Structure 1
Amino acid sequence: MTSVSTFIWFDSEAEQAAEFYTAAVPDSHITGITRNADGSAFVVTLELAGHAVTLMNGGPGHPHTDAASIQVLVDGQDEVDRLWAALTTDGKPGPCGWLTDRYGLSWQVVPSELPELLGGEHAAAVGAALNGMSKIDLPGLREAHLRG
């Protein structure tokens, strides 16, 4: 059987990151922890809303960049707001729904309606509105779509 998962290298905070991510993303949980002889976590496996993720404490030298991110599609503005607030705690907001969390990992918090709003003849207006946002404002994108 073939399967695909996401594998992310951390310096030393994989277990703390896994606890943070599973608390923030609904329907998520840690599935396993492989420990070093001293009891510290080496590899942590988890599911984020059904997506398999492995976090490894591999030591310094492999910093996260925004070239790779975790995208979370959510239903509605309330969930955008909730997840954004959770993930930006001790992190920093970025443009167009992107953010960097406290561990340096990049995320995209995206309303599930966005692909539809970006489609068709109103894509340019919605894209222009999106480019002016940090946290996505779904009502603002809907308005841009209507104005076209």
Structure 2
Amino acid sequence: MEQILLGRSDVAGWGAFIKNPVNKNDYLGEYTGASCPAGRSGTPRDQYLQDLVTQFQNATNEESKEKIVANLANFAYDPFNYAFMRQVVLELFLDCITEPNEKLVEFGIGGICNSCEDPANSLIITQSGGIPLVVQCLWSLVRNTISISEAIVISS
């Protein structure tokens, strides 16, 4: 397996980079999605996710907030996390899509998209006034935000 380094990407924030040259079709490793440290640190998943929300609420640095919301959005797709998303995180995602920070909007809309596969989450998003907020994202200057917003509106 090749050595993979993490670092800032000129394309999209953070990225994975190969240290040495590789050939086409070489096995580099396998990404299986974001992993929760529960088990290693002994922290249950709900507590870990709550800690991320608390870190977001206490963060003063915009880049830190962006990373935390991106991390939460990655957890939002997993049916195991749907109930926790309903209880704590959906409101944070909805708040993020009203922010002037385009990265928070992009990651917030991504979290909403990942969460709305669950009918109960979709209902909460709708009842919380989320559809007009999502529609507003269609006028974003960020192509990814627009694409995700379109997908949500079409599936509503």
Q: Same fold (TM over 0.5)?
A: no
Which structure: greater helix fraction?
Answer: 2
Scaled by the length of structure 1, the TM-score of the pair is 0.25
Which structure: greater strand fraction?
Answer: 1
Higher relative contact order (CA 8 A, sep 6+): 1
Scaled by the length of structure 2, the TM-score of the pair is 0.25
